[in-house]
Structure 1
Amino acid sequence: MSELFYSPFFGVALSIFTFWVGVRIQKKTGLVVCNPLLIGVVLTIGVLLLFRIPYEAYDQGAEFISLFLSPATACLAVAIYGKLPLLRRNWLPILVGCTVGSVVSMGSVLLLCRLFGLDEAMTASLLPKSVTTPIAISVSEAHGGIGSITVVAVVLTGIFGSITAPLLIRLFRVREPLAAGLAIGACSHAVGTSRALELGETEGAMSGLAIGVCGIVTVLLSLLLM
């Protein structure tokens, strides 16, 4: 049985199955809080704990899924390309909005880390929480952060953003699709972008654009803040 757990196919199969269960639960309940990624994470952890499967065994296959993170993020360029006229007309508000979003995100994390007395390694791990995983890990590890903690922070931020985004858009009466998309992408990266795509084509394209712009801004800001 241990040989099965250490097979690369086990990690891939478990990840796909638990995410599929999450999708089915969300469709059955129709509840936003039943996020497929969140459910998948909880179920995967439950299976590993129940059968006492070492994380290293699961990661033998799960790491192959991680390889698709960067290509999947790059594929968002297709949606952005379809909105080039909108991008040309609003390049300045887009640039300013993404910069402000990154500054507020990183500044608030830095302030809270200082307030609660977290060390430099933990601060570096949490600082890039609002950008996509490949960029966040690179920024974190370059400044002495812990990659695994960064991944957890990024995933939780994305899930929280995808769940709360529609509510916050209604609460603050954001009627402009461009603004809504940028806000979602700047705060909750690729996970939020999947939700933005459900809200509309423009929201999805602008959210995907915000991932790239905020990623660049975050890399530059990390040189100043860390």
Structure 2
Amino acid sequence: MIFITVNTVSELLCLLAAIVFLNKEKTTAWRLFIPFLLLTCIVEVAGIYIREFVHTSNYALYNVYVLFECGFTSYFFFYLYKAYHYKPIWLFTWLGLFAVMYIIDLLHHNFGQFVSTTASVMSVVFVLASLYFYYLKLKDEHFEPLIFSAPFWWVSGTLFFYFGSTACNNFLDYLSEYERITFSRSIRYIIYNILDIVMYIFWSYAFICRYRQRKSSPSLG
């Protein structure tokens, strides 16, 4: 039962939604959600196992996962931006800057801690990327009902999670004063659970919207 948590359940349900609604998807960016979410589930379970049974730090595991998280999320944002004729140089520039920050962060902590500074900067960048997508949608002359827009719901879930996690990190010292509350869980733990649930609900609905879009437009595959 120790492996059954809010995080693992929400991630697994989102993975199942991706398998059901994206299994026949031909667009690489959307289809990559299946292996990415599978990796997310594996990392979460492995992190619990290392912490609870090996009784050692799982920082190294999540440090590696951050690379995949940044790479996939950045690539998907670029996929969304391609419709507005954005060039790959912007993606490569950001990934290059991320790599430099990541290496400096690892060296600064002597490979012994989570790359929290890099993760915080990444969160801010993804918040800005989400807001910029909204700006592009507002300027777009092509009408699309947002209630059925897969990109809109994916970006909304992403924005909610990374904005919330950024705010949580900024108020980390304040939250630490109230570390233990009901059910022996920290406020940060509960906040991140809520953020996870909302993001994965939005993502799952995005997969449904993409499935509906593909069915109504066979050319999408």
TM-score bin, normalised by smaller chain: 0.3 to 0.5
* TM-score, length basis structure 2: 0.33
More RCO (CA 8 Å, sep 6+): 2
